[in-house]
Structure 1
Amino acid sequence: MMDFCSSMLDDMDINTLIARRVRELRDAHGLSLEALAEASGVSRSNISLIERAQSSPTAAVLDKLATALGVTLASLFEARATPAEPPSPLARAATQAVWTDPASGYTRRSLSPALPSPIQLVEVHFPAGQRVAYETGARDTEIHQQIWLIEGAMEITAGDEHWRLEAGDCVAMRLDCPTVFRNPTRKPARYLVALSMAPRPSVRRSA
């Protein structure tokens, strides 16, 4: 099993990475702090602290920001290549971003390389007895995910759907409704998340 503590990105580095990504995405959308706060439901002061790497935001807060910015949660942990350095198709284990939710203690490792791709891979370690709830809403980009449980058991709710996954099970869902992840057992769980993104088809209006 991969040792999550082996990553070169410590807590300070990961908060700096998140800070840079939130600023980049906010600037790309032309949003002020006030506009992002209104769209996400996260206070302006909290966003400001996050963008200055002076806060350790929870998974729920980051998901609110990701939803408002129209990206996946995994996108907030992407390391951008420098202009003089083309994005690499290889992501070494030692350089993959690892982040731990301060509220639940669940840990996620971003597996995907910097080379642009419609697919993102994330490995998650979920502690026993913990629960994480996301107020996920519809985005301009249509996002699908599949979750393959490697070890343990997980209960997942997406909107009105509910599943209990055992090792080897895989479930597919769209990220367009509130979602809850819960480990109801006394043992940690580990799973792989595969995300794919595509622009939502435009709806033609009749004249």
Structure 2
Amino acid sequence: MGTIMHNQPPRSDVLAHVGTNLRTLRKEAGLSQEALAAASGISRRMIVNLESGNANISLGSLDRLAEALNTTFLKLVSNPAQESRKLQEVMWRGKNDVSQATLLGATPARQDTQLWLWSLAAGERYVADPDPEGWHEMVFVLEGTLQIDFDTESQTVTANDFTIYSSAQNYAYQNTGTGVLRFLRTVSS
């Protein structure tokens, strides 16, 4: 895998989160930098530089650090002051400014994750049955405007935007626009 924030100055927001989170999680685990280096296979020098926000690291190496700390990739890279469902953090950049990977959001999963491509004609509505407790959906609108109706509120999601919510509740999708609505839907349990 490529390194996160390739060709960017040190101390990006993501690397600052990694540094703060790494230090916190390492101390909570009762590990020295040297012990974490031995457990993860990442050099102590790299860990020192990460904790100070002065290093780039591959996504695979972040996975190894998370595993050695008995935590998740998400806890290692997330802004601790921000809700983890909607992150919107650039995790990787290529040499061209157009090339990047953005972690939009995350939700816990126990067993299953499904990816769906939906399309609804103008005025079309789909009413869903609630999923079991612990299920979540992530929806990214490709084209049009999606209205999601819950029992107590409605959300409007426009093209190139997304939302994440518990699907263990009543909800419905509706195309309130005049053209075709297309969106990606990920369901996880």
TM-score class, shorter: 0.3 to 0.5
Q: Which has the larger radius of gyration?
A: 2
* TM-score, scaled relative to structure 1: 0.43
Q: TM-score, normalised by structure 2?
A: 0.47
